[in-house]
Amino acid sequence: MPKKKLKRKWSQDVTDNSDALDLEERIFQQRSAKKIADSLKHSAEESTRRKASPFQSAMSMLSFYINRAGKQLSKSRLSTLERAKDELRKDFGKQPKH
């Protein structure tokens, strides 16, 4: 019986192979909002391929992931990712939204 070919979504490919940021593997599965934010900040600041500011690039990647995952995210996972947005804002000296 032939092996089933894994069907990958284009959004997963973007997350895995972003042209702008080199993301830490499985970063969005971290349990800590602070770790997610710190990793995204580091990736954005180190990137030489991004077209926007480090803050915009990091926030865009996080928002992209949240939007693509959509209803598949549990409430607790979504909450962690939303807290990561606030942590990113703090890391970049921006005002957290409430």
Residue 14: per-residue pLDDT: 58
Mean pLDDT, the chain cut into blocks of 10 residues (98 residues total): 57 58 86 96 90 93 90 93 96 81
Residue 13: per-residue pLDDT: 63
**Domain boundaries of the chain, sorted by first residue:** 29-91
pTM for the whole structure: 0.78
3-state secondary structure the chain: CCCCCCCCCHHHHHHHCCCCCCCCCCHHHCCCHHHHHHHHHHHHHHCCCCCCCHHHHHHHHHHHHHHHHHHHCCHHHHHHHHHHHHHHHHHCCCCCCC
